[in-house]
Each structure stands twice: as structure tokens, then as C-alpha cells.
Chains A and B, each alone.
Chain A
């Protein structure tokens, strides 16, 4: 793997060099010696469609970057559109409620482990309870990586009289939610 050594360089130089190198290489190992440089390189790489793995986070920071779409054609097709999830109830699936709640909690906890991160979670209908009165779920959702946008249906909050109880995400509207569904590959949970 091609290594880019950016030790001794200050922002934005590491970002510029990494970006240049990504034009020629699909995977890179980037070494920087300060945290801002590590954060900036990771930020740029994620936003230009790379998988970012932090290999070392002390003294020197080592980041492994892998561009998507370098594997099979299916991978490439899948990576072209970011994902979003539409969540409309407090349970995953329609079986026993207890199992459904357990599965949904598991789903939310696992989200951050799966790369690439989804672009957005959309909460509608009973789903808005997960970001309001359901404390444990709201906690998990609030802890999700900041890159994931959390959109909560305002009409639904009003209906359940939960607008004041919003604990995660931000109030959105049908226009924005529909736009996200259209722009991303959206899966209903």
C-alpha cells in the first residue's frame, strides 16, 4: 500500500497531499503527527467516498484510506448512492413486541459499526417515540456518529404531543424527508 508521510506538516498540507495521492491510488496509508491533521484527512477522505480506518492514535496518527468502488462492479453501484433508513415504529418487524424492540435496539447500536455510515435516519409515525419518550433508544441515537443526519417528522411529533420531548435529531418536514428518500437509497425498517 502506498504510504504518505505527512509528519512535520501543518494543516492544510496533509489534506492537500492526501487528496492528490487519492487521485492515483485507491488505498493509502497516511501518517500525520497531530490530531487536527488526522481529523482533517479523515474528514476529507470520508466525504470523498473513502473508508477510513484509524490504525494508530498515539504519537503519530496512522490512517488507512480505501476508496469505494475499487472492488466488484456491484460494490461500485452500491456505493454511488448513500443510504438512509425510514423508521416508522418502535419495533423492528411485526412479531412479538418485546422481540421487535430488542431487534430495533440492536439495529440502532450496530449502525455505527457498518461502513459506510448511512446519510440519514428518518423518524415518522410511532417511530418518533424513539427520539422522545423512549429514553434508552434516544440515548443510543444521540450517541450515533455526527455524520448521520437524524430527521424527525414534525407533524408526527405534534400528533403525539412530543415536540417538547425531542432528545435526539432535529424537527423536519415532509418536503425534506421526501427529498432524502429520493436522493438516497432508502430502506424502511
Chain B
């Protein structure tokens, strides 16, 4: 379902709550809900699951689990417990399901959390994901609504997984775990979140199905700000320009473009693939972090190592749209 259709349905329902302990609910389009348990602890709750994006069931299980966990990290929290959500056809070999679940289990172990139980439904196409619970100190919740003018925006993974996985489906690229797109989808967003304590992070979201533009706009709208993005600084996987020109582009990208393009100003950006990067739906994408300019360099220095790299992609400004320059 496209973002516009979903927003229309959600707008027609009354999700408002009088519960004072609900710190982050549906209103700001945040990544997860946050509920204050006591003065020391707030519960972060999130759920995500989807159809296979790679053929290898074990890789798929790992990627989907990493993707589900990401929402907790994006709120500045630490996951501690998860449950499986599975759809699986009777007709398929059960070993496939075992491998998917093993992938989820191994990723959960890497994140240092327990998976206990879950629910399985028979369905024509396999689907897998996690419902994840996390904890955060109520004063340390990082919502998507705190971005301030002058902040630097840092993205922690390259863009283009939607385009790359479309090429995987077409058999145009080999689905190796070493492919940078797969390696990035497998990677937990925990490292960035672990650093949050030491920096004045004003807002954070993770980049998933609505693409950089969609999730960035949610953050900007909730914060009452706009931003400038430098096209030359947008990181992407090497094959993206060629695949974009070849029309190996997922339908979700066009849906995102239709929904969000009127809030994106493309000043002088003429390369098609650069525009695609804004709208490409991401799976297990990176975190987008808004923090004061004077802390950005230190954050990057601490974050970057041989497996992680942060990319300064733009600045928060007064306004209400994304200006790509």
C-alpha cells in the first residue's frame, strides 16, 4: 500500500489517547510507540514484517530481523525481547521456514536479545518479521520531532536497496552476502544508537519503505522545519545509476515519488538516479540523525570504522520542504 492511501485510512480513525504515559504515539508518524513505565523506564514497542527480498531464507530472516530491530534503535532505545511473526505456505518445504527463523534468531543473538514465541499464519507468500520491545530512559527518548535549524543530518547507510533488490529479483545481480547492499541490510543500527548518549541528538528516524524523502519529511513535519540536502553527498550502491537508467526500479519508488515530490525542490539536480535515491524504498536502511553542527564531526569520527560509515547529507533549516541542491 502506498503512503498516501495509508495516511488517508489512518486519518479517518481516531487514535488519540488520554493516557499520559503514552509518550510517542501515532500522531507524529514516528518509528515506534513509547510508553512510560516509571520515572526510570519507558517501553518502546514496534512491529514490522515483509515478503522475501532475497532468495536465501537464512539471509532473509537476518535482514528482516535487523529491519524490525531498527525502529527501537531509532528511538534511542535498547531492544530486549522479540516475538516472531510468520506467514508461510503449506506447499513450501519446511526447511525454508526453519532457515528463515534461524536467521532471525542469529540476528537477535547478535543484538543481545531473546526471541520467545510468535505466531504463524498460512499464506500464499512467505512473510517474516519481529515484534520488538525495547527500553529507554524517559528523558533519553529520541523522537523524530526535535530537529533544529542549523543541525547537520547524518545518514548511516547508503541508499538504493529498493533498486538493488529489484535487480536481484530480475537475476541481474548476484545475491551474495558480500554484496554491499546485502551487507548493509544485514547490519544492525545499534552502533549509532549506542553513541546517542554522548551527543545532543535532536531527532532520529530510520529510513525504510517511504524512502529518504518520506521519512525525512515525517521528521521535518514533526519538527516544524525544512532541510537542504546536497545531492553530491548522497551515498549509494555502485550499480544504482545504471539500474536506474535501465528502468530496474521498484513500483514503491514511483508511489513514494507521487506522494512526496511536491514537498521536494530539486534545484538544478538533473540526473535521474539522484532523484531516485530520494524516493527509493529502503529495507533495513540506515538511521537519519539530526544533531548540532559542532558535534557532527566528532560523531562521525567515533562512528566510522571498517564496517560503519556515516554520511553528512545536509542541514536542517527553517522551512517545510526538502531542497535538493
Query: Which positions in A face B, CB cutoff 8 Å?
Result: 10-13, 15-16, 19, 34-37, 39-45, 47-48, 146-150, 152, 166, 168-171
Other A-B contacts than A146-B270, A148-B270, A166-B267, 13 sampled, CB-CB below 8 A, are A12-B169, A12-B247, A12-B248, A12-B249, A36-B249, A36-B250, A42-B247, A45-B247, A48-B246, A146-B275, A168-B268, A169-B268, A169-B270
Residues of A within 8 Å of B269, CB to CB, are 170
In the complex, how many angstroms separate the beta carbon of A80 from the nearest chain B beta carbon?
A: 18
Check if B254 sits within 8 Å of A15, measured CB to CB.
no
A34 to B169, CA, bound (A): 18
Report the interface size class on chain B.
Answer: 20 to 34
- CB atoms of B167 and A12 under 8 A apart: yes
* Complexed CA–CA distance, A171 and B254 (Å): 28
Choose one: B247, B255, B275; the contact of A15 (CB below 8 Å): B247
**Could you list 16 examples of A-B contacts with CB < 8 Å?**
A11-B250, A11-B251, A12-B248, A36-B249, A36-B251, A36-B255, A43-B245, A43-B246, A47-B245, A147-B272, A148-B270, A149-B270, A149-B271, A166-B267, A169-B268, A170-B269
Q: Which of A40, A146, A170 is within 8 Å of B247, CB to CB?
A: A40
Alpha-carbon gap, A60 to B127, bound state (A): 30
Query: Within the assembled complex, what's the spacing in Å between the Cα atoms of A171 and B270?
Result: 12
Query: Quick one: closest A residue to B246, CB to CB?
Result: A44
CB-CB contacts below 8 Å: B244-264 with A: 244-251, 253-255
Cβ contact within 8 Å between A43 and B270: no
CB <8 Å contact, B249 and A150: no
Q: Separation in Å of the B253 CB from the closest CB of chain A?
A: 8
The reply to whether B254 and A170 form a contact with Cβ atoms under 8 Å apart is: no
Query: How many residue pairs at the A-B interface have CB separations less than 8 Å?
Result: 74
Cβ of B70 under 8 Å from chain A: no
Residues of B within 8 A of A (CB): 166-167, 169-170, 172, 244-251, 253-255, 267-272, 275
Known: A34-B251, A35-B254. A47 touches B246 (CB 8 A): yes
Instruction: Tell me the bound Cα distance from A10 to B270 in angstroms.
Output: 27
Residues of A within 8 A of B253 (CB): 36
Q: Do A39 and B270 touch (CB < 8 A)?
A: no
Closest to B249 in A: A40
Q: How many whole Å from A29's CB to the nearest CB in chain B?
A: 17
Contact assessment for B166 and A11 in the assembled complex, using a CB-CB cutoff below 8 Å: yes
Most A-side CB within 10 Å, residue of B249, B254, B268, B275: B268
Whether A146 touches B248, Cβ cut-off 8 Å, given contacts A12-B167, A12-B170, is: no
Q: Which residue of A lies closest to B171 (CB)?
A: A16
CB neighbours of A45 from chain B (8 A): 247
B247 contact set on A, CB distance < 8 A: 12, 15, 39-45, 47
Residues of chain A contacted by B251 (CB below 8 angstroms): 10-11, 34, 36-37
Contacts of B270 in A (CB 8 A): 146-150, 169-170
Complex alpha-carbon distance, A166 and B254, angstroms:
28
Docked Cα-Cα span, A11 to B244, in Å, equals 13
3 closest A-B pairs by CB: A170-B268, A40-B247, A44-B247
Chain B CB within 10 Å, residue with most, of A11, A147, A152: A11
Contacts A12-B169, A35-B254: A146 and B249 contacting too (C-beta < 8 A)?
no
Bound CA–CA A40/B249 (angstroms): 7
CA distance A53 to B269 in the complex (A): 25
CA distance in complex: A166, B271 (Å) = 18
**Given known contacts A36-B254, A150-B270, is B275 in contact with A11 (CB within 8 Å)?**
no
Measured CB to CB, the closest approach of chain A to B50, in angstroms, equals 15
Instruction: Verify B268–A40 contact, CB threshold 8 A.
Output: no
